[in-house]
Amino acid sequence: MVRAMEILASYLSGTWTPGDGPATTLVNPATEEPVAIVYGHGLDFGRALAFGRDRGGPALRALTFAERGERLAALAKALHGAREELIELAIANAGNTRGDAKFDIDGASATLAFYADLARTLGSARLLADGEPVQLGRTARLSGQHAWVARPGVALLINAFNFPAWGLGEKLACALLAGMPVVCKPATATAHVTHRVVTLWVEAGILPEGALQLVCGPAGDLVDHLRGPDVLAFTGSSDTARLLRGHARVLAESVRVNIEADSLNSAVLAPDVDLGSEAGRLFLADVARDMTQKAGQKCTAIRRVIVPAERADEVVDGLRERLAAVVVGDPARDEVRMGPLATAAQQRDVRAGIARLAAATDEAYGGTGAINPVGIAAGKGYFVGPVLRRTADALGCDAMNDHEVFGPVATVATYSGDPELAAAIVARGHGSLVTSCYSNDKDWLARFVPVAAGSAGRVYIGSDKMASLSPGPGTALPQLQHGGPGRAGDGAELGAQRGLSLYLQRVALQGDASLLKGLV
């Protein structure tokens, strides 16, 4: 049930506080009706960060990994228990269809549950071994051992508007399991879901005091209070990322920063794949899903579709057919498969991106993205319909290769079928979160993957035999690293135990082998 409009308070230093100053109204992006208000000025962030460091940190670090894992399991259970309520909130505040909302909320619970399981394997240790002991002296008595230990700071988790549950879950699971208290700041426009999730967790009393705090509203001087042992984990646009990376306090205190930013992900069709085959159908389904799931507002979404020139017409026809079947409109309606963009600003940016592409490419589907959404009053909502463009100049098309259009928009670009050329086109995006390729040809893959992998955080290989098992390239799995080089921010999250390293400090221990053995 959607609640009456409420004020989203922040949870800082153990207290819910609405803040003051000018209000920001959160709206339903399908109807433009208000759903909640955030004030969020006048909050004492310096005190909150200190509260996390001094209260939450020691309490978390007193727990073993296994005990922290039990807390994560309880967070996952509480989240899952409120699934229906959260889906309603995501529909109302983020323009999600029911399917989009489930993707976000279930992604969060699954990630928390995954790290709860992983914690069991880490047992009762407080120091984690990094590699094997090494002999340092003439005998084995003098030994060295690298180890990981929790950083004695606070993890500031700043998230983007598109995944208010999952974006939080993936960062928070790793930080808490590593032993770092968390201050999370969702994007203001879609903060309702995060606010409700944190409220549920606080009410359930799962975590020690100070281990979890929430900032609703603008960041204000939050970053000014970071210190050396803290971690800033950011997901959002590269403009904000640049600002944070160069922030005076971050530089002065050498605050560890992880950036997850824009990405121009590619899907590459190899010449051996027939579109009627399992791999060919997977390719078309993956591209169409990525264009329209969450209205294309996924950092991992396919933006560049690289296909052999002789296949381009066939690919465009296949995608047209799929896109035409997507009902766009009020995400609360069952028949609707794609809702609006999250904000008026996003709609403006996406329209500008389409115009930029239109000046450099040819139309394939959807025109300018203008659409009459089902079940919506004329002129209301931040809707943009699916738009497909095409170009024969894959390497030279700056509009396609240099600008992320964060909406239901992709461009089909042609190449000769040569794997090295395909990899060069992928690299032209200056670093991506995920590159997908579709081939059953080992020789083609052996020439494409090693080159293309240098500019991607993850390479997804679609083929006949895995097609029926695949969640698609757009799903960030906790088992695998999420993050990519260059434009994508050069960050790394998740990847099972690797995801903890952002929140852990590596230390080299040196001494008597038998004493070291008792520590790690």
- Residue numbers annotated as active site: 260, 299
Closest to ligand NAP by CB, 60 or 184: 184
Q: How far is the CB of 506 from ligand NAP (least distance, A)?
A: 24
Burial of 434 (0-12, 13-18, 19+ CB in 10 A): buried
Closest to ligand NAP by CB, 236 or 271: 236
In angstroms, rounded to a whole number, what is the distance separating the alpha carbons of residues 28 and 188? 13
Q: How far is the CB of 9 from ligand NAP (least distance, A)?
A: 15
What pairing do the DSSP bridges indicate for beta strands 432-438 and 265-269?
Answer: parallel
Closest to ligand NAP by CB, 206 or 231: 231
Closest to ligand NAP by CB, 109 or 263: 263
Token reading at 257: 């920063």
Burial of 57 (0-12, 13-18, 19+ CB in 10 A): buried
Closest CA to 154 of 93, 211, 209, 221: 211
Q: How far is the CB of 193 from ligand NAP (least distance, A)?
A: 13
Helix ranges (H only) for 374-436 are 398-402, 419-427
Closest CA to 487 of 427, 412, 406: 427
Largest CA distance in the chain: 82
Q: How far is the CB of 141 from ligand NAP (least distance, A)?
A: 47
Token reading at 421: 């050329």
CB neighbourhood size of 25 (10 A)? 12
- SS3 at position 25: strand
Closest to ligand NAP by CB, 185 or 389: 185
Q: How far is the CB of 333 from ligand NAP (least distance, A)?
A: 26
Report the DSSP beta bridge partners of residue 304.
266, 411
Buried b (16+ CB within 10 A) or exposed e, 198-235: bbbbbeeebbbebbbbbbbbbbbebbebbbebbbbbbb
Q: Going edge to edge, which strands form the sheet with 456-462?
A: 362-365, 387-391, 409-415, 302-308, 265-269, 432-438, 456-462
Q: How far is the CB of 488 from ligand NAP (least distance, A)?
A: 6
Q: How far is the CB of 158 from ligand NAP (least distance, A)?
A: 5
Closest to ligand NAP by CB, 18 or 329: 18
Closest to ligand NAP by CB, 206 or 244: 244
Closest to ligand NAP by CB, 46 or 81: 46
Token reading at 361: 């490419």
Q: How far is the CB of 223 from ligand NAP (least distance, A)?
A: 6
Closest CA to 207 of 235, 179, 231, 167: 179
Q: What backbone torsions phi and psi does residue 393 show, to the nearest 5 degrees?
A: -115, 70
Token reading at 264: 């121009």
Q: How far is the CB of 237 from ligand NAP (least distance, A)?
A: 3
Q: How far is the CB of 175 from ligand NAP (least distance, A)?
A: 16
In angstroms, rounded to a whole number, what is the distance separating the alpha carbons of residues 329 and 342? 13
CB neighbourhood size of 326 (10 A)? 17
Report the DSSP beta bridge partners of residue 48.
none
Closest to ligand NAP by CB, 157 or 307: 157
Positions that interact with ligand NAP (CB under 6 A)? 158-162, 185-189, 218-219, 223, 235-237, 240, 243-244, 260-263, 299, 404, 406, 433, 488
Kindly report the CA angle at 239 between 233 and 242, in degrees rounded to 5?
A: 60
CB neighbourhood size of 358 (10 A)? 16
Closest to ligand NAP by CB, 6 or 209: 6
Helix ranges (H only) for 82-150 are 83-94, 98-122
The helix or strand, by DSSP H or E, that contains position 95, with its residue range, turns out to be: none
| 3-state class percentages of the chain: helix first, strand second, coil last, to nearest 5 | 40, 20, 35
